[in-house]
A and B are shown apart, each in its own frame.
Chain A
């Protein structure tokens, strides 16, 4: 029982990270119809930026986290405003190829600046607690708490703030949003910034568990699988997809070690076979 509980918590916390990345990814997709394959690498950059601010420059952890989020938000904004916006109107695969290559560039640049050796970021979440025999690290609890906090903030932001409503409007219909006076381009870049900031949180929360390295961005691929499981374009779906993959992984590692690296993808294939539009469908058949 204790083992089960422990695996569950490990899975939940891992799944929260996948879910957070997937949410950034889905947010961009929902608003701008673009797929950002570099989301995992943006997370990786976020954790490196946080490392520089907190460890190298010696800032307080919370202040440093906020600063890193700000830096990444500006970065995400600029990625859209400078590069990605130029290819609106070209077929979807151009964007796929563009963002994948951006991911490779980020990875190479991160390797050149911060090196290949893994770095460790000290967080205030140290120590473990014992819940009836299950030993749970505080960093795991922090991931779950952080995810709940981020998700509720995003929910409130999208539901009640002017910008959030503008984002929803722009994501539903660009032209109509433009006609009622929403600065669609600005909103789009804003969405990219927001998604980058969320990924930055995910990166920092993940830092104590997997050290920071340029290859962490490959985690993003699992986040895509999570987004596919949840049905592309559904924010709660992305989170739930992330949790499903996250929970499946430690259980697979414990009971079926052969498939522990690929269990997430196998689940994704199963979902695609049985329900190609994902668990929370947002794709509709076009009527001519």
Chain B
């Protein structure tokens, strides 16, 4: 067990709490940067998919994990990011200009949605976000001039300063660098006053308000950041799947994002990453499973969402803190061995929080 002495005023908000952080995260960083050299194209593509999911999950985490507003409409922000990016590319806007604009557009839409949404409490927001996702899907279908409607829209490989990115590993590095930048952004937000207010709003809106935090402003900013990150993920996703169609960004994707952050561990940056890794792993497993399942079950279009549902139910009931929570418990167990008590992480039981009062 490590004992930390405070020797610096800034110690509380440092990213690396002690040398162990530097070592392990450095190792991880080296690992992900060297990974393409050891892997073939298929696995690099799978890794890229995981990184994009992680970015989208990070966006959802900001609003759901840190601010406590369950959004069922984040696929819509991905759609906005993807279509804006793809449309700007067809107009001849360069990649590194179009991507930030796509993220910004998505962020601004998130902001516009959040202004009425910040007046709603939990449940209303969830339903409104679900409805928002459906409205966006409908707009994508009907706005054929820009989105191609149901026919879909092909996306060319990205061009960087006149150099076309064809290889999987080149694109992997672009996504990786953007993901790392986004993680640093989110970590920075989290240790800023805004991030602290988000956590306060999540834990209790009334206490937050009593402490002088502007709840509505916090929620709106959380939506802005969240939608921008998810839109960025959408723009990257557009190149990854190379063909956009409205059903790509349906409700299933929203649920998948939610599944990621719940299974990974709600309320932590680690959770978004773990969740993305698990989802990527799960998708590969399901596609392998389909081969040996009887066709009556294996070829069901509902199989994948059904399995997602089962996993979500099991996690919500048995491990609401997700994989990362389980890992924390295990680590505490090792660190305190043999003094770990089973109730260390036990939740306080309470009555269901009422929403009738607010």
Residues of B within 8 A of A100 (CB): 72, 255, 258, 309, 312
| A96 at interface, CB cutoff 8 A | yes
Given A89-B351, A104-B309, A262 and B302 touching (CB < 8 A)?
A: no
Contact pick for A266, options B119, B123, B135, B352, CB 8 Å: B135
| B316 at interface, CB cutoff 8 A | yes
Q: Is the CB of B302 within 8 A of A112?
A: yes
Q: Is the CB of A108 within 8 A of B70?
A: no
Closest Cβ–Cβ distance, residue A97 to chain B (whole Å): 6
| B128 at interface, CB cutoff 8 A | yes
Segment 44-85 of A: residues with Cβ below 8 Å from B: 83
Residues of A within 8 A of B124 (CB): 228, 232, 272, 276
Q: Is the CB of B258 within 8 A of A97?
A: yes
Residues of A within 8 A of B258 (CB): 97, 100
Segment 103-162 of A: residues with Cβ below 8 Å from B: 103-105, 107-112, 116
Q: Is the CB of A111 within 8 A of B138?
A: no
The interface size bin for chain B is 35 or more
Segment 202-247 of A: residues with Cβ below 8 Å from B: 214, 221, 224-225, 228, 232-233
Which of A5-13, A27-35, A191-199 sits within the interface? A27-35
Residues of B within 8 A of A265 (CB): 131-132, 134-135
Interface 0/1 of B246-264, CB less than 8 Å to A: 0000000001001100100
Segment 226-262 of B: residues with Cβ below 8 Å from A: 255, 258-259, 262
**Nearest residue in A to B349 (C-beta to C-beta)?**
A89
A273 CA to B309 CA in the complex, in Å?
32
**Nearest residue in B to A265 (C-beta to C-beta)?**
B131
Contact pick for B310, options A91, A103, A105, A258, CB 8 Å: A105
Given A225-B127, A269-B128, A98 and B134 touching (CB < 8 A)?
A: no
Closest Cβ–Cβ distance, residue A287 to chain B (whole Å): 8
Q: Is the CB of B357 within 8 A of A285?
A: yes
Given A83-B313, A111-B300, A272 and B353 touching (CB < 8 A)?
A: no
Interface 0/1 of A270-288, CB less than 8 Å to B: 0011001000001111101
Contact pick for B301, options A87, A116, A268, A286, CB 8 Å: A116
Contact pick for A272, options B122, B128, B354, B355, CB 8 Å: B128
Given A96-B123, A258-B142, A288 and B357 touching (CB < 8 A)?
A: no
Q: Is the CB of B357 within 8 A of A283?
A: yes
A175 CA to B352 CA in the complex, in Å?
12
Q: Is the CB of A98 within 8 A of B312?
A: yes
| B343 at interface, CB cutoff 8 A | no
Residues of B within 8 A of A111 (CB): 300-302, 306
Closest Cβ–Cβ distance, residue A24 to chain B (whole Å): 16
**Nearest residue in A to B70 (C-beta to C-beta)?**
A93
**Nearest residue in A to B127 (C-beta to C-beta)?**
A224
Interface 0/1 of B295-322, CB less than 8 Å to A: 0110011110111111011001100100
Contact pick for B120, options A103, A276, A285, CB 8 Å: A276
A90 CA to B316 CA in the complex, in Å?
9
Given A97-B312, A262-B134, A288-B210, A89 and B357 touching (CB < 8 A)?
A: no
A89 CA to B349 CA in the complex, in Å?
6
| B358 at interface, CB cutoff 8 A | yes
A92 CA to B351 CA in the complex, in Å?
11
Residues of B within 8 A of A95 (CB): 352
| B6 at interface, CB cutoff 8 A | no
**Nearest residue in B to A284 (C-beta to C-beta)?**
B357
Question: Interface centre among A103, A225, A233, A283, by most B CB within 10 Å?
Answer: A283
Q: Is the CB of A104 within 8 A of B131?
A: no
| B208 at interface, CB cutoff 8 A | no
Q: Is the CB of A90 within 8 A of B320?
A: yes
Closest Cβ–Cβ distance, residue B131 to chain A (whole Å): 4
| B187 at interface, CB cutoff 8 A | no
Q: Is the CB of A32 within 8 A of B300?
A: no
Residues of B within 8 A of A116 (CB): 300-302
| B268 at interface, CB cutoff 8 A | no
Q: Is the CB of B122 within 8 A of A105?
A: no
| B332 at interface, CB cutoff 8 A | no
Residues of A within 8 A of B354 (CB): 33
Q: Is the CB of A108 within 8 A of B303?
A: yes
**Nearest residue in A to B305 (C-beta to C-beta)?**
A104
| A88 at interface, CB cutoff 8 A | yes
Residues of B within 8 A of A214 (CB): 302
Residues of B within 8 A of A101 (CB): 255, 259, 308-310, 312-313, 316
Question: Interface centre among A34, A111, A175, by most B CB within 10 Å?
Answer: A111
Residues of B within 8 A of A110 (CB): 302
Contact pick for A221, options B130, B259, B349, CB 8 Å: B130
| B64 at interface, CB cutoff 8 A | yes
Residues of A within 8 A of B19 (CB): none
Contact pick for A105, options B128, B142, B313, CB 8 Å: B313
Q: Could you give 16 example pairs across A and B, Cβ below 8 Å?
A: A83-B313, A89-B349, A90-B316, A96-B70, A101-B308, A105-B306, A105-B313, A174-B351, A221-B131, A225-B131, A262-B134, A269-B116, A269-B128, A272-B119, A283-B121, A288-B206
Instruction: Give 20 new A-B contacts, CB below 8 A, not counting A97-B70, A116-B301.
Output: A89-B350, A89-B352, A90-B320, A97-B312, A101-B308, A101-B313, A108-B306, A221-B130, A224-B130, A225-B127, A232-B124, A261-B134, A261-B138, A262-B134, A265-B134, A268-B128, A272-B119, A272-B124, A283-B355, A283-B357
6 closest A-B pairs by beta carbon, nearest first, are A108-B306, A104-B309, A101-B312, A101-B309, A108-B302, A265-B131
Interface, chain A (partner B; CB < 8 A): 32-35, 83, 86-98, 100-105, 107-112, 116, 174-175, 214, 221, 224-225, 228, 232-233, 258, 261-262, 265-266, 268-269, 272-273, 276, 282-286, 288
